[in-house]
């Protein structure tokens, strides 16, 4: 049993009632910062049953603000999922057409370069000085690298699911441990990871002093606006979710100072754009403060989301997620038992029917041939 502060508006401490219900292979620590101060935020229906249970949780860390599904997949399951033979990699490896012409990236330059407006006077990304290097982690087909290379960048990529980007760009199998890059990009990568903090720290080691990092992920703050819950977190590919406060805090913990939130998720933005959280950060030489209550934004976002949608069952509205999960699993168990009994009864009825047919069609011994006359 883990005792953790719920961190609700009254600030009351409650017991995270794992004795009432625990998801199979549930973690007790935050996968990023290792904190034990976890709070249940929602139920999560797992994609596959484990030990007969399918109910897990969406949880939040009170220390770093990370929102994640619990249980999380193992490292082996993750490696398989993203390999070229895996569920994620297979369709992407197959969809690997020839690269587009260089000139086609010119049209897109204005769009992507707007991400760097806040640092244009420090790092002119479209007219960079000689010798600047960029790493795109999870570069996909390499469209951003194509555009940066056209502007004069030395381009490097990391991608396990497809080959296309490496017809033009240098491939790395891991993030270098020494300062190498002026710019690192991780576009829609962190939500796929179990431990985003470990990767952000690797990026810090690979960045030159004063280098920049651009990260993007589905925006948890904007959930009440776009209402696409499964886009933000779904337990299949998107395992972790981020508010601005959480992302800024994780960046600060790993040696990055937030400079800008390009394309802010405010109501004035285009909805498609509003779904995304983007953060531009600079490698910091000193330790940085982290937000005081980093999980509050996620909690508020969920509250507003459920106000606009079908709402929550009363138990969950009151914060009794473990009791609610126990009831869900009990109902599922009862339905499963009834289905099993019905199946067995149906099978028994069918066997009886087959038996009756066999016995009923068999000719009786006295009906064969001409009946004998009794003496
Ligand atoms: Zn944490």
The CATH code of the domain that includes 276 is 3.40.50.150
Question: Is residue 325 included in any domain, yes or no?
Answer: no
Q: What are the residues whose beta carbon lies below 5 Å from ligand 1 (ion)? A: 30, 32-33, 35, 61, 63-64, 66
Kindly give the distance from the C-alpha atom of residue 311 to the centroid of ligand 1, in angstroms, as a whole number: 27
Question: Is residue 7 included in any domain, yes or no?
Answer: no
Question: Is residue 122 included in any domain, yes or no?
Answer: yes
Domain containing residue 182: 92-290
Helix (H) or strand (E) holding 260: strand 256-260
Question: Is residue 317 included in any domain, yes or no?
Answer: no
Q: Helices 296-308 and 244-253, interaxial angle, to 10°?
A: 160
Kindly give the distance from the C-alpha atom of residue 31 to the centroid of ligand 1, in angstroms, as a whole number: 7
Average pLDDT over residues 199-228: 95
Question: Is residue 313 included in any domain, yes or no?
Answer: no
The mean predicted confidence, pLDDT, of the chain is: 85
Residue 202 and residue 172 in contact, taking contact as beta carbons nearer than 8 Å: no
Q: How confident is the model at residue 375 (pLDDT cuts 50, 70, 90)?
A: very low
Kindly give the distance from the C-alpha atom of residue 188 to the centroid of ligand 1, in angstroms, as a whole number: 20
Lowest mean pLDDT among 101-110, 115-124, 162-171, 213-222: 101-110
Task: Say yes or no to pLDDT of 10 above 60.
Answer: no
Number of domains in the chain: 1
Question: Is residue 217 included in any domain, yes or no?
Answer: yes
Q: How confident is the model at residue 272 (pLDDT cuts 50, 70, 90)?
A: low
Rounded to whole angstroms, the Cα distance separating 142 from 150 reads: 12
Question: Is residue 69 included in any domain, yes or no?
Answer: no
Kindly give the distance from the C-alpha atom of residue 328 to the centroid of ligand 1, in angstroms, as a whole number: 28
Question: Is residue 119 included in any domain, yes or no?
Answer: yes
Kindly give the distance from the C-alpha atom of residue 334 to the centroid of ligand 1, in angstroms, as a whole number: 36
Average pLDDT over residues 144-171: 94
Kindly give the distance from the C-alpha atom of residue 181 to the centroid of ligand 1, in angstroms, as a whole number: 28
Kindly give the distance from the C-alpha atom of residue 229 to the centroid of ligand 1, in angstroms, as a whole number: 21
Kindly give the distance from the C-alpha atom of residue 173 to the centroid of ligand 1, in angstroms, as a whole number: 27
Parallel, antiparallel, or unpaired: how do β-strands 276-283 and 256-260 relate?
A: antiparallel
Q: What is the pLDDT of residue 8?
A: 42
Kindly give the distance from the C-alpha atom of residue 108 to the centroid of ligand 1, in angstroms, as a whole number: 37
Kindly give the distance from the C-alpha atom of residue 251 to the centroid of ligand 1, in angstroms, as a whole number: 13
Kindly give the distance from the C-alpha atom of residue 258 to the centroid of ligand 1, in angstroms, as a whole number: 19
Q: What is the pLDDT of residue 45?
A: 93
Residue with tokens 């007790």: 28
């Amino acid at each position: 049993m883990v005792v953790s502060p719920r961190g609700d508006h009254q600030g009351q401490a409650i017991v995270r009632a794992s004795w009432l219900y625990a998801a199979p292979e549930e973690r007790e620590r935050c996968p990023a910062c290792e904190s034990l101060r976890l709070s249940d935020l929602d139920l999560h229906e797992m994609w596959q049953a484990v030990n007969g249970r399918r109910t897990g949780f969406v949880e939040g860390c009170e220390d770093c603000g990370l929102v994640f599904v619990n249980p999380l997949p193992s490292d082996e399951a993750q490696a398989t999922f993203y390999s070229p033979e895996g569920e994620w990699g297979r369709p992407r490896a197959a969809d690997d057409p020839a690269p587009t012409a260089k000139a086609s990236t010119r049209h897109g330059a204005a769009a992507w370069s707007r991400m760097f407006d806040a640092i244009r006077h420090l790092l002119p990304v479209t007219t960079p000085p000689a010798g600047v290097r960029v790493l795109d982690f999870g570069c996909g087909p390499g469209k951003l690298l194509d555009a940066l290379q056209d502007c004069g960048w030395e381009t490097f990529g990391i991608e396990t699911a497809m080959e296309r980007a490496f017809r033009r760009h240098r491939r790395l199998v891991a993030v270098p441990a020494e300062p190498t890059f002026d710019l690192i990009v991780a576009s829609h990568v962190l939500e796929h990871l179990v431990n985003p903090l470990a990767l952000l720290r690797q990026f810090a080691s690979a960045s030159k002093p004063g280098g920049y990092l651009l990260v993007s992920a589905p925006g948890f703050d904007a959930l009440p606006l776009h209402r696409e819950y499964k886009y933000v977190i779904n337990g299949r590919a998107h395992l972790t979710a981020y508010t601005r406060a959480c992302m800024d805090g994780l960046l600060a913990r790993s040696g990055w100072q937030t400079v800008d939130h390009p394309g802010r998720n405010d109501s004035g933005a285009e909805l498609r754009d509003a779904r995304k959280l983007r953060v531009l950060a600079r490698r910091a030489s000193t330790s940085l403060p982290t937000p005081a209550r980093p999980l509050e934004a996620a909690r508020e976002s969920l509250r507003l989301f459920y106000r606009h949608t079908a709402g929550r069952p009363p138990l969950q509205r009151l914060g009794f997620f473990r009791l609610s999960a126990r009831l869900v699993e009990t109902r599922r168990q009862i339905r499963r038992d009834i289905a099993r009994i019905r199946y067995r009864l149906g099978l028994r009825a069918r066997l009886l029917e087959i038996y009756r047919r066999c016995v009923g069609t068999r000719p009786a011994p006295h009906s064969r041939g001409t009946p004998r006359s009794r003496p």
